[in-house]
Amino acid sequence: DAKTTQPTSMDCAEGRAANLPCNHSTISGNEYVYWYRQIHSQGPQYIIHGLKNNETNEMASLIITEDRKSSTLILPHATLRDTAVYYCIVRVPYGGSQGNLIFGKGTKLSVKP
Amino acid sequence: NAGVTQTPKFQVLKTGQSMTLQCAQDMNHEYMSWYRQDPGMGLRLIHYSVGAGITDQGEVPNGYNVSRSTTEDFPLRLLSAAPSQTSVYFCASRETVVSGNTIYFGEGSWLTVV
């Protein structure tokens, strides 16, 4: 089973920041938090990942709480093309079955004009 | 650099027929895997491989076979297709030993079993 809990759906106004929460209260010390998104029925696309420090790249920012039991993905200026299902996944970042991605149902983000 | 390539993109099968979904990657990744996605659901792991000659079962392996004779290819075989196997199938690959490695997905193969 997925180790994360996410809201089923969220709306965001175009141009505003989208903040997607994720709970992972049973995360282990060696597990990273990964975010992927899936637009329409395309293959999932990697967004960002982190261990315990906040991370930022050209797509998004990831804020992880100090106790690592929850995190928030931030899309700073959402566009209509960011409408997608967003998956929060915890996993170890190396080989074997421990490194498998286990998907939940994700959050359906709808960006509205 | 093509990444992860899946073929065919669309396929219709009759119940009981067999077929193979092809997956190839050109990134020299050791790890490859197959997922299926049913309507309104997240992806579920079918089989995975951590290197040539090594395969293992995921969450929903029944009705599917895999083999890994080369690093590049990881075909998924349906021996006797059933309507319950109607789904979208995604292949994925990644490095295994690099910390924080990213998993790359193919564009999907839409399979309908009638």
SS3 A105: coil
The pLDDT-based confidence of B106 (bands split at 50, 70, 90) is very high
- Residues from chain B contacting residue A102 (CB–CB below 8 Å): 45, 59
Q: How many CB atoms lie within 10 A of CB A84?
A: 21
Q: Are A64 and A73 in contact (CB under 8 A)?
A: no
Nearest residue of B to residue A104, measured between CA atoms: B42
**Strand order through the sheet with A55-56:** A18-23, A70-75, A61-64, A55-56
Selected residue with higher pLDDT from B39 and B75: B75
Residue B98 has pLDDT above 60, yes or no: no
- Count interface pairs A-B at CB distance under 8 A: 66
**pLDDT score at B96:** 66
Are A108 and B44 a contacting pair, CB within 8 Å? no
Chain A CB within 8 Å of residue B30 CB: yes
What average pLDDT does the segment B80-87 reach?
Answer: 96
Measured between CB atoms, does A49 come within 8 Å of chain B? yes
pLDDT level of residue A105 (50, 70, 90 thresholds): confident
Check CB contact of A93 with chain B, cutoff 8 Å.
Answer: yes
pLDDT band at B18 (very low <50, low <70, confident <90, very high): very high
pLDDT of residue A94: 64
Q: What is the mean pLDDT of residues B58-85?
A: 96
Q: What is the reported pLDDT for B1?
A: 54
Average pLDDT, chain B: 91
Q: Which of B58, B97, B108 sits opposite A43 (nearest CB)?
A: B108
- Nearest-Cα residue of chain B relative to residue A42: B107
Burial class (CB in 10 A: 0-12, 13-18, 19+), A14: middle
B1 contact A CB<8A: no
Interchain contact, B88 vs A41, CB within 8 Å: yes
Mean pLDDT of A102-111: 91
